[in-house]
Amino acid sequence: MKHYQDIETGKIWAFEDNFDIQKYANRRIPKNLTKFVKEKPSEEHFWYSSDWVHMSDLPTDYEEPLSSVPIYNPAWITFLFPVGVYVWPDDKELLDISLEEIESNRYNFSLFQEIATTIDLEKSDLPALISHDGSLAIPMCSTFPNASDALHTINRIEGALFLGGLILESTNHKSLECGNLSEAGQKINSYIVSAHNRFRTGSASLSERIILSSPNYIMVSILKSALTTGFNVLVKITNLSPDFIVKGHKALVAWELSDALSNLWVSIEQITSYLWDTLFLPNLSYFDKKIESKYVKLKKKKCDWKISERHQLLKETGYINSSQLQALNTARIKRNKLVHNGELPKFEVVEDLWFSLLALLEKYSNVSLCELRNRTSISFNKFNKHYPPGFADERSVNNTAFPEWPTEARTKAGSS
């Protein structure tokens, strides 16, 4: 093995004996390698001014040196959709993977990593990228220097897609991945072991691969339409954080009612603030004098911040209707009981809150959310409930019998 040292960082590089550093062209290898290697004397020595220096002799403001070689095309990555759902250009021929190819594992693995479309990003000249298997990649650059900044942008894109009718889950710190865009082939690489990456590398099991026989597609035109719909809502209602709506929906589907109510209530608070600050207060002088008088009294008592008071005044000025006020009041009371007493809300309370929220978003963004309604409803204002397998109808619980179910008395009798 041949060894070279980076004179910038002190890092040692090892190559095969037949390696010719003068002829080898790789942009990731430093150009300032030297064959005169200086071994690190101890863990108390650090690289400084092209040599190892004991920590006691380092400047007080010393920082370990970084290589001047760029990190090429690094990316923050998440997967928008489950395995088996593919983002597909409208003019591209659909997948045609035979059962024989699936069984023998001889399909084109790398196809899933290829870029299907792009999304323009605010404050960045570089767009977000979406691959065929639904990975979303944004550049790991000064605009998105850390996971929190990246998540904010990713969650906003996910929220816009969700509002436009594409059902997905919100990315968090645990599901956020690091990767890069390949130098050749324009493919999005992820460094984390996952189901998606098993398909990309040909390491998915046969039981996993069978899904390729009947893939689901989201055409790029549908995705772009959903994105436009969602961003039209977010541009209008500027203080809305859509990830709370996404999380609220996920929790409601799973009957995690405390999480559903908590997340959706954040969205209610946000749209209430929007209505209050952009519609109610600027138009206060145009309302009936009784409304202005009520507001002045609330302000004097320092109670104008209370959401119950705001909802009542918004109702009296026509910004919310009677059924919405009832749903909001019920949800607020149940939320308070949840917070202070640990009392879980009923499904119907959160269901009514969900549809009231959608109605308010539609009215004040002037954007139809019909696709989202269709994908989350089974009928008018009825949420698409998910029951455990084998559970036919909750009404059947009123007509049940347990003749063979063991009780403590039966157990003791049987053991004597």
pLDDT digits (tens, 9 = 90+) for 187-232: 999 988 899 999 999 999 999 999 999 999 999 999 999 999 999 9
Q: Does pTM surpass 0.75?
A: yes
Angle in degrees, CA 80, 82, 88, rounded to 5: 70
Could you tell me if 117 and 223 are in contact, meaning their C-beta atoms sit under 8 angstroms apart?
A: yes
DSSP state of 314: H
The kind and range of the H/E element at 379 are strand 377-379
Q: What percent of the chain has pLDDT over 90?
A: 78
Q: In this structure, what token pair is assigned to residue 372?
A: 């989202």
Q: Per residue in 29-76, pLDDT tens?
A: 888 899 899 999 999 999 999 999 999 999 999 999 988 888 888 999
Triad 147, 150, 153: Cα angle to 5°: 150
The token pair at 283 is: 């138009």
pLDDT tens, position by position, 154-199: 999 999 999 999 999 999 999 999 999 987 768 999 988 899 999 9
* pLDDT score for 17: 86
What pLDDT is attached to residue 392? 60
pLDDT above 80 (res 397): no
Q: What's the confidence (pLDDT) of residue 320?
A: 97
CB atoms within 10 A of CB 42: 8
Could you tell me how far CA 297 lies from the centroid of its own chain?
Answer: 43
Measuring CA to CA, how many Å separate 302 from each of 266, 295, 309, 312? 22, 10, 11, 16
Cβ atoms 345, 258 nearer than 8 A: yes
Where residue 391 falls among pLDDT bands split at 50, 70, 90?
low
Is residue 368 classed as helix, strand or coil in its secondary structure?
Answer: coil
Strand partners, 51: 48
Residue spans of the domains in the chain: they are 2-57, 74-235, 239-383
